[in-house]
Structure 1
């Protein structure tokens, strides 16, 4: 619905700011540059919060964490050329992990595009880069198109698979006048399933004797509806890493995020019906053991992305729909809930399968589990953990007991290093009253260490749990397993405690599990980051392993 209202002529940059305000954006992550200064001319009038990262990669990861924590699109504003390219990894991670991010980027003047005169920040084709890492991208060549392009970006966030949208504006257009209509923001609704398709799905699952559900990140925004469906069907549920907590991992029908493990692979291969909702069924869900599963039974796939409906596994029934709307529609076609006896049998299968999840953990997993147990026992039920690509987090992907959807953020798809700490900053800025924790490794922490300054400047109090094994441990293990010389993986690491204190953070070298729990509690109450360094080879390592 659009209510027509007054039209005014304003500079293009101000028109964009006004439109963002109409759609409820309240925070912009950006490092100002000479090509983006026009955006700031009326900035104080708009009431946005401006967060200045220390590197554009940090800006993208902060927007990524903000979007995950709040469920709302984040805004990242970048300069031409190096600004966009520096942020590219964070934008690509948001693309892979299906998170909404509006990226506003300047480019060279229209007369300079593709000419190669050596202009400041010149890229041969900046737009060609954008097309590789965004769900939608547009190079604005006429200010008359600005409002339409922004409306289209917002509509895709809300009606399709949420992914970054990049709007590129040549810098000579930012100050050029355009007409903007001061209207109520449009309302968008995602696609719902055809009732006959939902009935077919209900009949297939209700008639099955060994059904199991695989729930992915596409269920996060609809966790209540999906959980109701699981309850009505009395169906065993397993999640991907991106779907952790959609069914609380202490629920009697939940196998947690355990897809890579043999007991779950067996259940999938013995299932007569598999219901997959909001998941790619991709290889990144299995990287802990790298052992694939088969689905010989009937597969029902529900996804908002039409390209995923037949990807990787061919379904018997494919339904294009938002996960929550599909779950609600299927529930309408269920004549009765599962019997008490059938549910009891399935809960026993879950208990037995969980008891068998013991044989495929890494050699270091007992040490990781001890730390994760302290986290689980100390944090609120809805606390958000932003985890980096580090061995502690690899174990956490499958061991940490997430009890709510959207409480575990890991770079699943693109698998980058360095996302966790800036993502945690963005998440805490978006949800200041929520507990937010970052898990980093010594290698990954150095990718975005400079964002400690941003956190201190913005009074962001997050515990940063640093697992320090002085190496790229996962790669080193892979080299050893393959008989490959371990070149380039043993690292010199700085005195992280001293470095963090130099930024104005609190920092502690943790020497026992009891100390970790106590310091974690203190860190959660501070308004600056607290680095909690755990040395893998420290003198108290034996305690961490028990």
Structure 2
């Protein structure tokens, strides 16, 4: 028999057999890129670093386009915006330590809003007995930190698990409540080789049984005043929900992350359940069907002024079984995605449309909300409606700012993914600029309007450079009130002397000039509409300053 000769190579001291086996395998970085291509990944958001260069070795020859933000927080928010519009996970490549911690805020926002995100980072090799070696980008316990935040976390100690782990990461949002998934790759694994790469067949969540659906059909037929409540988990099923709403003559109330579902219907009630008029509509219904909503306080009691909501009869549908045990107790709880619930229900429900004054109830609620909102709030809402009228297919991406707060209370939106912002559960500032870039990459045909305050704009102002690099035609509308106006008003209302709320904004015209992009300054809503009416030229973003305070 031939000797199993020991030789020296770039892999260290190995046998001839081991060299032969290695040649039959795929470098880890190439295998990872192949997995991402097979999962349909279009974009990766990230900033290369010494720890991640092996992930980039094979990226240039792939079908995936790399987007370079100016900060990893921007990478995370871009992935978020892309995911909301495309319906697919946004993907980030991040370095060990600071690159990853810079993206914790976007990951937290994505977790709060159930947005699918796959974050792939490197990590230092397992320490032996201590964590404070002083290695580059070292954290005391990176794995422990991310386990707390990610909805699914995996440390890739065994490279042969790559395909299995990537399949689980990308199928997570289809089978569970979506959120940020984190895969970390130790530096001593990233330069290894991988065997067979084979994506698993996609599986689906179980649909409700015929027995469950029969009971729900019976409840629907017995009820005289049905209302439907749609949350962010219902995005992508708007046509089915509108069909159900019509058949049951049921007003359709949408939470912040579901705005646009029911667009154009006389049964649509795009009003926050935190307002008393919406709360009354729900509590007066003898049946409420809640689809994909967590019943969180930012949607249902933002002002902490209302008692716990009480339903006469509640059917609740959620993909997360644990979520069904939180919040209001359901009379019928169904663990399913919304589409898997609605399709069999609509097949069994009578196709005739009933008349239970649903349109009248919806119209009355909308008239009531217009009378209780402040003139300032209605002014912002009218701006939103004017933008929608001028650009009916537009996507409006907001920040934690006054116009977003007003629109979250009430606004009509023309498409399922046409309205989203950070003024929800986590409430991060600086979200809208990078999120709008990600949204534009997901749907370049839709007019993009970013609604941001001068305070929040300065958090991620540098991402204007990314918008220029990637030629995304986004209208960045900066509402300039010379500081953190919303917080300042809150402090005054609480009897607190405003401190720390008047940061000096930059000269926005000079900012536009520095990035060589078009600029306009307006002071009235119609002036803004006139600018938005003009097509964006040369695939460049446009900066518009809306002066609210001289």
- What are the ranges of 5 or more consecutive residues in structure 1 without an aligned counterpart? 1-6, 539-546
Confirm whether residue 195 of structure 1 aligns to residue 207 of structure 2: no
Confirm whether residue 527 of structure 1 aligns to residue 539 of structure 2: yes
1:136-159 CA-to-partner distances (Å, cap 9, x unmatched) read 011111212222111111221222
1:345-388 CA-to-partner distances (Å, cap 9, x unmatched) read 2211111221111343245224313422321221133x211111
Q: How far apart, in 2, do the equivalents of 1:514 and 1:338 lie?
A: 41
Match of 1:104 in 2: 120
Of 189, 198, 201, the match for 1:186: 201
Report the Cα offset of residue 219 of structure 1: 0.6
Q: Give yes or no for contact 1:237–1:254 (8 Å, CA) kept in 2.
A: yes
Q: How far apart, in 1, do the equivalents of 2:339 and 2:255 lie?
A: 17
> Measured at CA, do residues 113 and 66 of structure 1 come closer, stay the same or move farther in structure 2, by a change above 3 Å?
farther
Match of 2:330 in 1: 315
Q: Give yes or no for contact 1:62–1:427 (8 Å, CA) kept in 2.
A: yes
Confirm whether residue 118 of structure 1 aligns to residue 124 of structure 2: no
Match of 1:265 in 2: 279
**Structure 1 stretch 277-286 or stretch 511-520: which is displaced more?**
511-520
User: 3-state SS of the aligned residue for 1:429?
Assistant: helix
TM-score by length of 2: 0.92
Match of 2:157 in 1: 141
> Measured at CA, do residues 366 and 351 of structure 1 come closer, stay the same or move farther in structure 2, by a change above 3 Å?
closer
Q: Give yes or no for contact 1:140–1:170 (8 Å, CA) kept in 2.
A: yes
Q: Give yes or no for contact 1:442–1:466 (8 Å, CA) kept in 2.
A: yes
Of 69, 75, 80, the match for 1:59: 75
> Measured at CA, do residues 90 and 74 of structure 1 come closer, stay the same or move farther in structure 2, by a change above 3 Å?
same
> Measured at CA, do residues 62 and 416 of structure 1 come closer, stay the same or move farther in structure 2, by a change above 3 Å?
same
Confirm whether residue 495 of structure 1 aligns to residue 515 of structure 2: no
Q: How far apart, in 1, do the equivalents of 2:180 and 2:203 lie?
A: 17
Q: How far apart, in 1, do the equivalents of 2:144 and 2:88 lie?
A: 27
> Measured at CA, do residues 8 and 388 of structure 1 come closer, stay the same or move farther in structure 2, by a change above 3 Å?
farther
Q: How far apart, in 2, do the equivalents of 1:445 and 1:114 lie?
A: 41
Report the Cα offset of residue 114 of structure 1: 5.1
Q: Give yes or no for contact 2:398–2:451 (8 Å, CA) kept in 1.
A: yes
- What are the ranges of 5 or more consecutive residues in structure 2 without an aligned counterpart? 1-22
Confirm whether residue 408 of structure 1 aligns to residue 419 of structure 2: yes
**Structure 1 stretch 528-537 or stretch 62-71: which is displaced more?**
528-537
Q: Which aligned pairs between 1:249-398 and structure 2 lie closer than 5 A?
A: 250-286=264-300, 289-292=303-306, 294-339=309-354, 341-342=355-356, 345-381=357-393, 383-398=394-409
Match of 1:422 in 2: 434
Q: How far apart, in 2, do the equivalents of 1:358 and 1:229 lie?
A: 27
Q: How far apart, in 1, do the equivalents of 2:426 and 2:141 lie?
A: 23
Q: How far apart, in 1, do the equivalents of 2:519 and 2:351 lie?
A: 56
User: 3-state SS of the aligned residue for 2:224?
Assistant: coil
Report the Cα offset of residue 439 of structure 1: 0.6
User: 3-state SS of the aligned residue for 1:357?
Assistant: helix
Q: Give yes or no for contact 2:89–2:117 (8 Å, CA) kept in 1.
A: yes
Q: How many residues are paired up?
A: 526
Report the Cα offset of residue 69 of structure 1: 1.0
User: 3-state SS of the aligned residue for 2:516?
Assistant: coil
Match of 2:239 in 1: 224
> Measured at CA, do residues 524 and 337 of structure 1 come closer, stay the same or move farther in structure 2, by a change above 3 Å?
farther
Q: How far apart, in 1, do the equivalents of 2:151 and 2:250 lie?
A: 33
Of 104, 123, 145, the match for 1:129: 145
CA RMSD of aligned residues (A): 1.8
Match of 1:517 in 2: 529
1:203-244 CA-to-partner distances (Å, cap 9, x unmatched) read 212211222111001110222222222222221110100111
Report the Cα offset of residue 482 of structure 1: 1.4
> Measured at CA, do residues 205 and 518 of structure 1 come closer, stay the same or move farther in structure 2, by a change above 3 Å?
same
Report the Cα offset of residue 461 of structure 1: 1.1
Report the Cα offset of residue 336 of structure 1: 4.4
Q: Give yes or no for contact 1:274–1:295 (8 Å, CA) kept in 2.
A: no
User: 3-state SS of the aligned residue for 1:406?
Assistant: coil
Q: How far apart, in 1, do the equivalents of 2:411 and 2:273 lie?
A: 14
Match of 1:3 in 2: none
Q: How far apart, in 1, do the equivalents of 2:280 and 2:287 lie?
A: 13
Q: Which aligned pairs between 1:456-475 and structure 2 lie closer than 5 A?
A: 456-475=468-487
Q: How far apart, in 1, do the equivalents of 2:536 and 2:299 lie?
A: 31
Q: Give yes or no for contact 1:223–1:324 (8 Å, CA) kept in 2.
A: no
Of 24, 27, 50, the match for 1:11: 27
Q: Which aligned pairs between 1:149-168 and structure 2 lie closer than 5 A?
A: 149-168=165-184
Q: Give yes or no for contact 1:136–1:153 (8 Å, CA) kept in 2.
A: yes
Of 76, 93, 96, the match for 1:80: 96
Report the Cα offset of residue 426 of structure 1: 0.8
1:429-450 CA-to-partner distances (Å, cap 9, x unmatched) read 1211222111101111111100
**Structure 1 stretch 144-153 or stretch 238-247: which is displaced more?**
144-153
Q: How far apart, in 2, do the equivalents of 1:246 and 1:367 lie?
A: 23
Match of 1:210 in 2: 225
Q: How far apart, in 2, do the equivalents of 1:238 and 1:8 lie?
A: 57
Of 463, 486, 498, the match for 1:486: 498
Confirm whether residue 242 of structure 1 aligns to residue 257 of structure 2: yes
Q: How far apart, in 1, do the equivalents of 2:202 and 2:482 lie?
A: 50
